[in-house]
Amino acid sequence: MSNLNSSSSCGSFPKYLEHFSGDGKAIGVLTSGGDAQGMNAAVRAVVRMGIYTGAKMYFIYEGYQGLVDGGSNIVEAKWDCVSNILQVGGTIIGSARCKAFRTREGRLKAACNLVRLGISNLCVIGGDGSLTGANLFRKEWSGLLEELVENGEIDKDTVQKYSHLNVVGIVGSIDNDFCGTDMTIGTDSAMHRIVEVIDAIMTTAQSHQRTFVLEVMGRHCGYLALVSALACGADWVFLPESPPEEGWEEKMCLQLSENRARKKRLNIIIVSEGAIDTQNKPITSEKIKELVVKNLSFDTRVTILGHVQRGGTPSAFDRILASRMGVEAVLALLEATPEIPACVVSLRGNHAVRLPLMECVQMTQDVQKAMDEKRFTEAVKLRGRNFEGNLKIYKRLASKVPDDKIVKSNCNVAIINVGAPAAGMNAAVRAAVRVGIVDGHKMFAVYDGFDGLANGKIKEIGWSDVGGWTGQGGSILGTKRTLPGAYLEKIAEQMHSHSINALLIIGGFEAYLGLLELAAAREKHEAFCVPMVMVPATVSNNVPGSDFSIGADTALNTITDTCDRIKQSASGTKRRVFIIETMGGYCGYLANMGGLASGADAAYIFEEPFDIRDLQSNVVHLTEKMKTSIQRGLILRNENCSVNYTTDFIYQLYSEEGKGVFDCRKNVLGHMQQGGAPSPFDRNFGTKISVKAMDWITAKLKGSQGTGKKFVSDDSICVLGICKRDLQFQPVAELIKDTDIEHRIPKEQWWLKLRPILKILAKYKACYDISDAGKLEPVQHHGEL
């Protein structure tokens, strides 16, 4: 049995404190450069993980300026100092530009301030400039200490004791402009702000048939502009890395007018603030507006989002990312030696990794150099596969290729949604339809799942039919949980009569089971001997073969937002514990990750069995917590985590055992987790994975063209998903062995490795698997997704 409040038997996992001890060490944490949502989550994780290991933690206020000024700017940080900051944007310890630190004299003062407090470990949260400064400080450290001895400010024993400065960086930047990591802290939250504004603008633009030019941040990096263009289906996008070709003015105006001719009532143009032409001359939002008004006489407005993008509460993704980075940064500091180069903690796929700091900085600077020298193709490649892939996909989806230039494949491809609705399904359908049309296929939409397929609810769908679908929640095609098993004859008949040559299924565990049933029926029904691929889409994130599913991020943000509001209400009443029930079936992903993102005290999940002793220990833990300044509690419970320990039972137990110390409230979130507009992550994930699925279908169909080939092999009926760091097609037949069919979950789930982080940050003893830690990995370009 798992005891959240126990450090007893940990099986094969190493006990964290037996391997790394921070006893006697002092760690300073600072934030520098532009602020980014999620920085506070990183600060919280660094402080709490440091204290957990026995290290003495220090806040360094106002970035490097506080380091130089010392005094009250460097203060010890206690556990409670970082309470209730997870949901706060910006940085509570401040950030400031510091000219003094750029001088040796300034760095000498900084070294003196640190060494007098015994601090020789530094965690710097900021951009490439901040991290470069930290590395220079590290290199000069021994020389600075010698100079301080000569000046009589410290003695030789102090130099010997703190002879080396360990530095670890965490990248906080809304621009996602740092090479070596898939995402920087703050980028996802900035995308949320941008998409919220675009969604709001699109309704008024449609009403008045207007064109809107939106300027987003990104002086040297077009990531925000590019991904927001993908997320909203913008008509045109301007990026610093990929300037438009000569004559772009006429091409853009032609595309805008063609889109209007297709009865599109609005146009959206997104401009990165650093947008340039091929001669490195700025392209401003005002210039674009004047061009559209002059050439097309369209009613055009400019909206500059500005610092709105930096503000607001961090998204669930950024909170989890920052928490993981903070924990990994402390591990890196405890392992650091003079021989190991300064590292930066990065994200690759769903893995936290350590990379050589200065190699990443150099690669980041190489991008800017390529742009300055007008080597734009190289600049895009240096940004990484992620950026380059996004740009290619945007170009494929943004403008329709004329019919006479499309080479017809004479193949019919059907798209079907199966299972419960998930935000992002519509973005996936849109991408598949448009890519399929460009590839020469005739695209068919199946309405109402397998039930609709059996009853002939199949209709050809065109390019314009899916316009504006990216921001729509739910499933426009309609979806049902019905499995195909009872309708195989009818489904085969409909697929034969409509000459369906391939099937794209977008859905959750029912889609997975449906795919298994269709695969099993191939011997009996020739109509099923076509390429079939499933794209996972479910809030539960329980599909075997993929670490992520479309819709899970939106649901996670709904849970996190609700928990934030509940915590806020508890801050007024004091001494109150909330028990929140989340969806997910038997999969604890939403409860666990929601708990990590909202700072919960515990999350009960099916994958980690618990008993009455665990519940009792949690009550004791909360009782102790009520004696501190944090007089509230938050417990998340996965809906099927236990047959007997129901939400009502836990509520009643907590109410009884906490009597006189705290009172309880319960909240079942229900179907609100399936609703709402899709998050930027789900829109873009749905778009990119769907494009990949259609490319696979096209490759299969091209390989068999004119041969009359029947697809009967296992590799022609697959699940497409993210596995660790890559997109992979896995035959559904091979995934059965990895599936717990009874409980509708994969047998192994990557996110369970994050359970200890949730417990450690909630002040429980826990075992943390550090088997992947400690290795400095080579710098690579951004990942595939």
Catalytic residue among 35, 69, 128, 175: 175
779's tokens: 């710098």
For residue 454, give both structure tokens: 């059996």
> What are the φ/ψ torsions at residue 386 (nearest 5 degrees)?
-60, -55
| Catalytic residue check, 175 | yes
Specify the 3-state DSSP secondary structure of 160.
Answer: helix
Name residues whose C-beta falls within 8 Å of residue 17's C-beta, 6 or more positions apart in sequence.
Answer: 7, 53, 54
**Strand boundaries in 33-101, DSSP class E:** 56-60, 74-76
The DSSP output letter for 321 is: H
Unique residue bearing structure tokens 């599909």: 543
Contact of 545 with 735, CB cutoff 8 Å: yes
And the tokens for 154?
């410290």
Query: Which residues are within 8 A (CB) of 195 and not within 5 positions of it... i.e. 6 or more apart?
Result: 228, 231, 232, 471, 679, 680, 683
Cβ atoms of 205 and 268 closer than 8 Å: yes
Helix (H) or strand (E) holding 224: helix 223-232
Beta bridge partners of 444: 414, 460
Name the pairing type of β-strands 300-304 and 211-216.
Answer: parallel
What is d(CA 304, CA 614) in angstroms, rounded to the nearest whole number? 52
- 355: CB partners within 8 A, 6+ apart: 180, 181, 343, 344, 346, 776, 777, 778, 779
- The one-letter code for the residue type at 540 is S
Contact 127, 178 (CB under 8 A): yes
Residue 170 in tokens: 């965490």
Evaluate whether 525 touches 496 at the Cβ level (below 8 Å): no
Q: Are 774 and 611 in contact (CB under 8 A)?
A: no
CA angle in degrees (0–180, nearest 5) for 626-631-632: 110
Residues in contact with 784: Cβ distance below 8 Å, sequence separation at least 6, in sequence order: 385, 386, 389, 725, 726, 727
Cα gap 503→410, rounded to integer Å: 15
Cβ 587 vs Cβ 420: under 8 Å: no
Q: How far apart are CA 223 and CA 238, in angstroms?
A: 11
- The helix-helix angle for 316-335 and 187-208 (nearest 10°) equals 160
In terms of DSSP bridges, do strands 739-740 and 745-746 run parallel, antiparallel, or are they unpaired?
A: antiparallel
**Residue 36: alpha-carbon gap to chain centroid:** 15
The first and second tokens of residue 431, run together, are 């991408």
Helix (H) or strand (E) holding 392: helix 385-398
Q: Give the C-alpha separation, 753 to 741, whole Å.
A: 22
Instruction: Check: CB of residue 249 under 8 Å from CB of residue 278.
Output: no
Which single residue is written with the structure tokens 């048939």? 209
Bridge-partner residues for 238, per DSSP?
271
Query: In the structure encoding, which two tokens stand for residue 381, read together?
Result: 């490649």
Largest CA distance in the chain: 91
The CB-side HSE value for 182 (13 A sphere, CA atoms) comes to: 21
The three-state secondary structure class of 157 is helix
Residue positions annotated with a catalytic role: 175
